C-alpha cells in the first residue's frame, strides 16, 4: 500500500506525503492512544480551531459531528469547557513543531493514524508517553469519576488522545 497525499491548506502548499500503513487503531506496541482523531474532534478539543481548513486531507466522517470553530478558538467547544492550549508560537519557540507538521502533535497523530510514517514518529510517540504524568496527578488529587477536579489537566489528556473523562 502506498497512496500519495498532497496537502494544500492555510499552512502548507503542495506538501506531499505517502500512506504506507493501513489506517486504524493498531498503531504500534508502544503507541496505543485511547481515542481516535475522529473521537477527539467529536468530543471537543483545541477549542474547535484545529483542522478547520484541513477537511480535504482526512476522512469526511471525522468532521460529520466535529466541534469546530473556523474563526476563533472557543473554549466552550472543549469537553471540559476550559482553555488547555498554548499558542502555536509558544510551541514553535520550544522547538516542538516539526516543519512537516506545522500544527503540531495532533496533526502528526492524524497523519500517523491514517497511515503516514515519518522521521518524527519516535519523538512524537515519546512526547505522547510523557503526557501520561497528568493521569497520575489526577488519580492522586481527585476522587475517581469527579470530572470537576482538575479539568484543565483532563482536557490536556484529551488533546493527547488519553481519555481524561475516565480518571
Q: What was the pLDDT predicted at 25? A: 65
Mean pLDDT across 107-127: 96
Confidence of residue 22 (pLDDT cuts 50, 70, 90): very high
Cβ atoms within 10 Å of 41's Cβ, excluding its own = 24
Predicted TM-score of the model (pTM): 0.94
Instruction: Note whether 67 and 77 are within 8 A (CB).
Output: yes
Q: What is the mean pLDDT of the chain?
A: 94
Instruction: Note whether 72 and 124 are within 8 A (CB).
Output: no
Q: What was the pLDDT predicted at 158? A: 97
Where do the domains of the chain lie?
3-166
Q: What was the pLDDT predicted at 132? A: 93
Mean pLDDT across 144-157: 95
Range in 8-17, 18-27, 156-165 the model is least confident about:
18-27
Concatenate the DSSP letters of all residues of 101-115 into one string.
-TT-HHHHHHHHHHT
Mean pLDDT across 1-5: 90
Q: What was the pLDDT predicted at 103? A: 94
Does 142 score more than 90 pLDDT? yes
Instruction: Note whether 41 and 63 are within 8 A (CB).
Output: yes
pLDDT tens, 37-96? Answer: 999 999 999 999 988 999 999 999 999 999 999 889 999 999 999 999 888 889 899 988
* Whole-number Å distance between alpha carbons of 59 and 90: 29
Amino acid at each position: 500500500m502506498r497512496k500519495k497525499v498532497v496537502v494544500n491548506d492555510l499552512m502548507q502548499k503542495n506538501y506531499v506525503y505517502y500512506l504506507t500503513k493501513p489506517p486504524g487503531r493498531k498503531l504500534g506496541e508502544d503507541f496505543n492512544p485511547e481515542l481516535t482523531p475522529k473521537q477527539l474532534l467529536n468530543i471537543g478539543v483545541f477549542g474547535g480551531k484545529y483542522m478547520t481548513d484541513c477537511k480535504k486531507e482526512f476522512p469526511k466522517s471525522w468532521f460529520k459531528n466535529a466541534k469546530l470553530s473556523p474563526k476563533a478558538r472557543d473554549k466552550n467547544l472543549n469537553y471540559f469547557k476550559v482553555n488547555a492550549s498554548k499558542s502555536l508560537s509558544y510551541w514553535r519557540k520550544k522547538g516542538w513543531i516539526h516543519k512537516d507538521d506545522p500544527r503540531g502533535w495532533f496533526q502528526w497523530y492524524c497523519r500517523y493514524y491514517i497511515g503516514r510514517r515519518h522521521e518524527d514518529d519516535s519523538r512524537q510517540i515519546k512526547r505522547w508517553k510523557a503526557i501520561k504524568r497528568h493521569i497520575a496527578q489526577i488519580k492522586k488529587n481527585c476522587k475517581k469519576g469527579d470530572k470537576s477536579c482538575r479539568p484543565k489537566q483532563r482536557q490536556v489528556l484529551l488533546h493527547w488522545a488519553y481519555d481524561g473523562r475516565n480518571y
